């Protein structure tokens, strides 16, 4: 294993190596600096921000802004903090990710292993949905949500995100399953497994890496979405992103930057968590697949 890794790595001279490290350092600074500023300023009293250097470490360390952002800051007209909206987002993102991933997996399974006349055209149309800009569907979508009686509700948002997510999740799973040996499906058919049994017992257990990719993609997109949230779920049903905007916009009087920073980090935390947790499995899954055989 070690020797293989060594023989594969490109031999580099000392100067090139130094250059690479410096470049990487600068690049990571570039990305980490904004996060550093957000973090540092979210644990300072407001007076330290308005009166001094944004880059300075806090003289008085306080978690007050975090508490305020979470539970008592003014969001819109209510002093609720971001908490209820955080749960709104969770209630939206978990079912939406789950449903769109499952449907994508089913679609991929059908489009590769249960081929039918016109399946390529259907797949092409689904791919098309990946490229439709959000803005174009706003008004028709609002109409449909109205007809279904789902306007302004979390269910409505789930529906919108599932519909939008299916294109991508189908693409992921179809391409993954296209390389999955059809003989396995045939063997399972002869063994007497039905449509869903084959899916559950044969296909899904081998789909780890692509499930992780799909979940990361969908989670990030749906959690970070602002446009659909602002358009279809205003007021107390709004997701985190919309609430964060309201928090920043709705300051009556003085702008509480420290609270805003804390709120912004709170809004970014779940996607960060998904990357760290799932990303691990992602790499592990890829490695397991490539080494065996």
Partner 1 sequence: MGFLDINNVTKSYGAVEVLHKVDIAVEEGEFLVLVGPSGCGKSTLLNMIAGLEDITSGEIGINGRVVNGVHPSNRNIAMVFQSYALYPNMTVGQNITFGLEMHGVPKPERDKAMNDVAKLLQIEQLLDRKPGQLSGGQRQRVAMGRALVRDPDVFLFDEPLSNLDAKLRVDMRTEIKKLHEKLKTTIVYVTHDQIEAMTLSTRIAVMYEGYVQQLGTPKEIYDTPANLFVATFMGSPAMNIMNAKVVMKDGRPHASLVTSEGGEALLPFSQDNMSEWDDKEVLLGIRPEAITDPDGADRKSSNVVALENRIIVTEPAGSDTFVTTNLGGKDVISRLRADVPVSAGEMFGFAVNMEKAVAFDPATEKRIEG
Which residues contribute to the site for partner 1 (CB under 8 A)? 181, 183-184, 186-193, 197, 201-202, 205-206, 292-293
Q: How far is the CB of 288 from partner 1 (least distance, A)?
A: 9
Strand spans (E) along the chain? none
Burial 203-224 (b: 16+ CB within 10 A, else e): beeebbbbbbbbbbbbbbbbbb
Smaller CB separation from partner 1, 24 or 187 = 187
Sequence-distant contacts of 176-182: CB under 8 A, at least 24 apart: 176/108, 176/207, 176/209, 176/210, 177/108, 177/109, 177/111, 177/112, 177/113, 177/203, 177/207, 178/112, 180/112, 180/113, 180/206, 182/112, 182/113
Taking the complex as a whole, how short is the minimal distance between the CB of residue 201 and partner 1, in angstroms? 8
Min. distance of Cβ 217 from partner 1 in angstroms?
24
For residue 206, the minimal CB distance to partner 1 (Å) is 6
Alpha-carbon distance 174 to 167, whole Å? 11
Is residue 247 within 8 Å of residue 263, measured between CB atoms?
yes
CA distance 207 to 178: 12
Minimum Å gap between C-beta 199 and partner 1 is 13
Which residue lies nearer to partner 1 by CB, 26 or 291? Answer: 291
Q: 74 — phi, psi (to 5°)?
A: -75, 115
Nearer Cβ to partner 1 (206/251) = 206
Closer residue to partner 1 in complex, CB, 139/187 = 187
- Closest-CA residue to 154 (of 215, 95, 70, 227): 95
Closest C-alpha to 272, from 234, 224, 229, 226: 224
- Backbone φ and ψ for 179, nearest 5 degrees, come out as -90, 0
Q: Which is nearer to partner 1, 78 or 191 (CB)?
A: 191
Residues 6+ apart with CB under 8 A from 228: 134, 141, 157, 160, 161, 164
Provide, rounded to whole angstroms, the least separation between the CB of residue 115 and partner 1.
Answer: 13
Residue number, 21 or 114, with CB nearest to partner 1: 114
CB of 185 to partner 1, least distance (A): 9
Q: Which is nearer to partner 1, 38 or 193 (CB)?
A: 193
């Amino acid at each position: 294993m070690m020797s293989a890794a060594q023989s594969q790595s490109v031999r580099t001279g000392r100067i090139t190596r130094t250059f690479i490290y410096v470049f990487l350092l600068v690049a990571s600074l570039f990305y980490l600096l904004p996060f550093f500023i957000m973090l540092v300023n979210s644990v300072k009293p407001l007076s330290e921000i308005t009166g001094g250097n944004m880059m300075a470490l806090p003289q008085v360390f306080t978690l007050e802004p975090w508490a305020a952002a979470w539970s008592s800051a003014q969001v819109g007209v209510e002093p609720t903090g971001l908490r209820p909206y955080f749960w709104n987002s969770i209630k939206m993102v978990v079912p939406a990710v789950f449903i769109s991933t499952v449907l994508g997996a089913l679609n991929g399974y059908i489009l590769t292993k249960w081929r039918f006349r016109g399946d390529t055209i259907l797949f092409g149309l689904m791919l098309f949905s990946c490229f439709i800009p959000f803005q174009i569907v706003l008004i028709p979508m609002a109409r449909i949500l109205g007809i279904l009686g789902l306007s302004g509700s979390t269910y409505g948002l789930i529906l919108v995100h599932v519909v939008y997510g299916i294109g991508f999740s189908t693409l992921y799973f179809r391409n993954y399953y296209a390389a999955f040996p059809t003989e396995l499906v045939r063997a399972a058919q002869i063994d007497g497994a039905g449509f869903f049994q084959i899916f559950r017992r044969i296909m899904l257990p081998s789909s780890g890496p692509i499930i992780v990719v799909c979940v990361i993609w969908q989670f990030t997109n749906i959690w970070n979405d602002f446009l659909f949230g602002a358009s279809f779920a205003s007021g107390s049903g709004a997701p985190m992103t919309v609430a964060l905007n309201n928090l920043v916009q709705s300051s009556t009087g003085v702008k509480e930057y420290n609270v805003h920073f804390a709120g912004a980090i709170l809004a970014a935390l779940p996607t960060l968590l998904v990357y760290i947790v799932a990303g691990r499995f992602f790499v592990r899954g890829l490695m397991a697949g490539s080494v065996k055989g």
